[in-house]
Every structure is written in structure tokens, then in C-alpha cells.
Structure 1
Amino acid sequence: MNLLVFGYGYTSRAFVSAQQDAFSDVAATVRSPAKAAALAQEGVRGLVFNATGWDAALPAAIDAADAMLVSIPPDNEGDPVLRVFAERIGAAPNLRWIGYLSTVGVYGDHAGAWVSETTPPRPISERSARRVHAEEGWLALGRQTRKPVHIFRLSGIYGPGQNALVNLQNGTARRLVKPGQVFNRIHVDDIAGVLAASLRKPDGGIYNVTDDEPAPPQDVVTYAAGLLGVEPPPELAFETAELSPMARSFYGENKRVSNRRVRDELGYAFKYPTYREALQALAEAGDGRGEGEAGGAE
């Protein structure tokens, strides 16, 4: 099976690393020739795709792909992959699985209530509105070409090197308190696991990829501090905290996101059902403890 990845970043890299043995060829796009050349060290064929052009070998990679993962966000003009390659993707002879990485931000604010894949999107931010339009474009392509398109709505992503333990170590962790506020989150290894489960059942559809327990963000920081044996940072009231407009906008959306469809339809059992199991494993691997500690952060 040949895999083509549009946008080789933190999440798609974790998926390829976990599933590389399942593919005879993995090609992935990055923005520069230097980054493309560096991917050879990971056993990945690097191709350039950016706002000014693309690698001459990319159309042939689309033609040869059995599976395609898209993790490039939409821009002001829409989805860049669809804009350039929709017709080519629709005609790809071997393509039997398309995965598009979206966000639970498409649901907007629900005042802490539960949402599922049947909940109509009502995005608040412009970036989430773009995601809705991109989802619609990919689903329309699937309907037109009868290729299975899978929309994966991801909650807050964390994992090795990117988590509350590391934030505590580098001094960027904060305990912002907004009464009633909760967030879902998802370990990058579980994203990779859900994508793999979907590859085994390429039926198309929309899936929330999120953990079991929506939790106040300050609780996560407190738990991480306990694992490291350090004092957590002081609590800060959301109303008076200095935040960037983007950070403040995240707190304008409060919802609990259900992952039942992933469990029921894909049969996936989460490796890290809550942040506690995940942070425990990350701490044991060395995250948040600096160089020279057991495991070492990657």
C-alpha cells in the first residue's frame, strides 16, 4: 500500500512512524527542498508543496497512492490541496482511503454541553469556519468520485515533547481558571491509532478524535506538577489574564466532545483515555525532567 501525506508535521509524523511497516512507499509534502531531502532519513520520500508551487513528482505520487492523509490547514482562499489537485485526486485509480485532519473547533461554543458528530457545526472563529468549508469540500469530492473520505475532528493535541510536563519545565505553563471551562484533548499516539483503525475500515464518515474526559485546563497542569514533584504555577483568573487574541478565543468555546463513534464504529480502544494515563507515561519517558533524566524527551 502506498501512502501520500499532504503536510508532514507533528501528527502525521506520528502516524507514519507507527504504521510505516504497513506501507510499501510513503511520500509526504513539506514546504522546502531542504526539508524534503531530510525526510529520507525517516524512510519517507519528501516532496515540496507550498503556496508558490509543487514538486514535479507530486502528481504521479497522487496517481500511485492507495491512501492519502491531508493535514494542511485551509488558507484565506480555501483548502490548498483541493484548489490545486481536486481533479487529479478524484481520478486517482488506486485511492481507497482519504483522511482529512480537522478540529473540534468546528462545533463552536455549547456552554459545556456534550456534542457528537451529529451536532451541526457552528464555528465562532474564522479559522474554524474555514475548516468547515474544507470539510465540505472533501466530503463533496468523496460523493462525486465515490472515494471514501474520512473527516477526523481532533481536540487539543499533545504528546512527546509537547505537553504540560514540558511547559512546566520551560516555564510556560499557566493555570488559567475560568469557572465551568473544560477542554478535551488527545494524545498523538491515539490519533495515529484511530487513523490506522479507519484504514482497516475505509467506509468514510466523520469522527471525533478525542479523549474520554473533558477537564479544566488548570487541573491538567496541577496533575503534571505532581508527577514532577514541583509546585504548580499560581492560579490566574481568566478575566484579568494577559492573553493573545487567539488564546482568548479558545476559552470562548466550552463543550464536551464525545468519542463514542470512534469506539463503536471503528472498534478503537484508546491507549490514553484521559490525560492522567498519558502524562504518567510521558513523565516515565522523561518529559519535563530535562536532559540526562531517564528516557529523555524527544
Structure 2
Amino acid sequence: MGERRFFIFGAGYSGKAFAQANEVGAPIFGTTRSPERFEALRQAGIEPLRFEGSLTAEIGDALRQTTHLIVSVAPDEAVDPVLDAAGDTIRTRMPALEWIAYLSTVGVYGDHGGAWVDESADCRPVSKRSVMRVAAEQEWLKLGQQTGTPVAILRLSGIYGPGRNALANLEDGTARRLVKAGQVFNRIHCDDIAGALWHLAGKNLGGIFNVTDDEPAPPQDVVAYAAGLMGIEPPPEIPFETAQLSPMAHSFYGENKRVANKAIKAAGYSFRFPNYRVALERMWADGNWRDGEPRSPMKRS
């Protein structure tokens, strides 16, 4: 096998984590809509390109040499922007392509009343954005069949890591402890998204994989644990029924499930951060919990 060359459509938080885990020095190109983010991508080890819904000559040149394609762009109004702009190029003008990864969400499962779900579970998407995700997954799998390219669908749970975590939320005053009886969420540290991608890419493995931690937990417990590490009092509990929530936040709480991750483990991947406690302890000990892009425009100390 020759040199691997990666291209990331939508090189955001997870894409930068992937590039920072590049131990083999593989070339990585990545797109953003904002030229202001070029320098941050370069510092992460990504050659930045601007993508605003159509392919530039530079993107076309990079795609022709790409062996491994990662897509981290959400559908927009029932259209997958990457498939819309680059579908024909992927089918006919990417001779080196060996593998595709599409970053999706566990939101495709919808609400299962707190029950465990794995990759064989029915998708019952509730929100419009999750309905669009299911459709996009199917389109990427179809493209893989058409081109004979393995496609890995990574269904991600709530993403956190340096700069995006309960420790940072407590410091900037945005942490809340909403309590809804029986509600749990899975989470995934960005380094495990990166690790799973590198592992699957190394074997050119396709399929559907839940990339999520081992321990779905009530969100208020995560905030309380972070406060304990910081030696501060956690914010008071707020009953869900009286909480002021955005429509998106409210929709998250309308879905309750425990997501299993056996498929990615069966593929040989071992999680660095199997639960939130391990991750928060590591970030607190390493002192890197403030790093990364701020999750809100509030000033950080």
C-alpha cells in the first residue's frame, strides 16, 4: 500500500483531533467555510481549503490524490452538501480512493425509552436533523456500493474534550444540572473519535459503528463529578419541567437511550476514555481541559 492521503470535508473539532493524532505524518487536507480558521487548522496539521458548497480547483486536485475520505458535514435542508457538490467526483475522479468515513450521530436511533440499542436497532429519528442524517447515511452507503469502496458510518454520541467539557462549563458559568427522571446520555471524547477513525482507516473497514462510551449517565452527575474535581460546589439541581431550554436542547431530552459500542470493539478498537470520570480526571490532571475552541463566546480565564 502506498502513502495514505486524507481529506476531511468539515475539519472542525473532531477533524482537528484526528489530525493531532497523526502519528504517521500522513498528508491531511481539510475544508472550512471560514478563512479565519485556516491558521488553527494548519497548527493542527491540516492543509486548509475553503468549501462553501462547490468544488474549487484546489479541492479537486486534492481529492484526486486522496486515499481516505472523511465527511463531517451535516445535511442541509434534506441535501447532503458534500454528496451534492462532490458525488460525481467521488464516483469518477478519485482513482486512489480506498475508504470513506461518514460521521453521523446516535440521534438516528431516536427515543428508545432508556433501553439499550446497538447497530441493529431500528432507527426512529425524531428531529428533522436526525431524519436527514438517516437519509445521508443511506446515500453514503449506496455510493460505497456503486464504487466498491468500504464506507464506515460512525454514529457519535455527545462530543466532548479539551475546551468542551463540564470543567470548562463550570468555569465559564454555563454549567447547569437539569434533572429529568430516568434520563441518560452517552458521550464520546474527541480523542476516541480520532482513535476510532485511525483504527478503521488502517484496516479500510466499512460498516456501521456506534462510537460512544461505555457508560450512559445522567447529565447532572457529570457536572457534579467535575465540580468535585475542581473542589467547588456544583450548581443546584433544576427540575426539567421548570427549565428554560432552547428547542434543540428540549429535543435532546426527548430522546432517551443507552447506546452500546460492541461493533467498534469487535473491530479491535480499545477506548482511551471509556467513561466520563476517566476523561475528566485525565483532563483535570493534565491541565488541558481549557484547550481547544471555546464552546461559547464568554470570556475564559
What TM-score bracket applies, with the shorter chain setting the length? over 0.9
Residue 166 of structure 1 contacts residue 287 of structure 1 at CA under 8 Å; is this kept in 2? no
- Out of 172, 182, 185, which is 1:183 matched to? 185
Letter in 2 for 1:100: Y
Are 1:8 and 2:11 counterparts?
yes
Residue 228 of structure 1 contacts residue 289 of structure 1 at CA under 8 Å; is this kept in 2? no
Partner of 1:192: 194
Deviation at 1:128, TM superposition (A): 0.5
Residue 106 of structure 1 contacts residue 131 of structure 1 at CA under 8 Å; is this kept in 2? yes
Change (3 A) 1:189 1:3: same
Residue 169 of structure 1 contacts residue 288 of structure 1 at CA under 8 Å; is this kept in 2? no
Partner of 2:294: none
Change (3 A) 1:112 1:94: same
Letter in 1 for 2:80: D
Residue 16 of structure 2 contacts residue 41 of structure 2 at CA under 8 Å; is this kept in 1? no
With structure 2 as the length reference, what TM-score do the two structures score?
Answer: 0.92
| Matched residue SS, 1:19 | coil
- Out of 229, 238, 249, which is 1:236 matched to? 238
With structure 1 as the length reference, what TM-score do the two structures score?
Answer: 0.93
Measure, in 2, the Cα distance between the counterparts of 1:190 and 1:234. 31
Are 1:78 and 2:79 counterparts?
yes
Kindly report which structure 2 residues correspond to 1:25-174, keeping only aligned pairs within 5 A, or say none: 25-36=27-38, 39-51=41-53, 53-91=54-92, 92-174=94-176
- Out of 255, 258, 272, which is 1:256 matched to? 258
Letter in 2 for 1:66: T
Letter in 2 for 1:208: N
Partner of 1:293: none
Deviation at 1:268, TM superposition (A): 1.0
Deviation at 1:22, TM superposition (A): 4.3
List alignment gaps of at least 5 residues for structure 2: 292-299
Change (3 A) 1:184 1:240: same
List alignment gaps of at least 5 residues for structure 1: 291-296
Residue 162 of structure 2 contacts residue 290 of structure 2 at CA under 8 Å; is this kept in 1? no
Deviation at 1:47, TM superposition (A): 1.0
Q: Residue by residue, what CA displacement relative to the aligned partner does 1:81-113 show, whole Å, maximum 9, x if unpaired? A: 101111111221111110000000000000000
Partner of 2:280: 279
Deviation at 1:42, TM superposition (A): 4.0
Share of identical aligned residues, percent? Answer: 55
Change (3 A) 1:289 1:108: closer
Kindly report which structure 2 residues correspond to 1:217-228, keeping only aligned pairs within 5 A, or say none: 217-228=219-230
Letter in 1 for 2:74: P
Deviation at 1:259, TM superposition (A): 0.3
Change (3 A) 1:147 1:16: same
Letter in 1 for 2:279: A
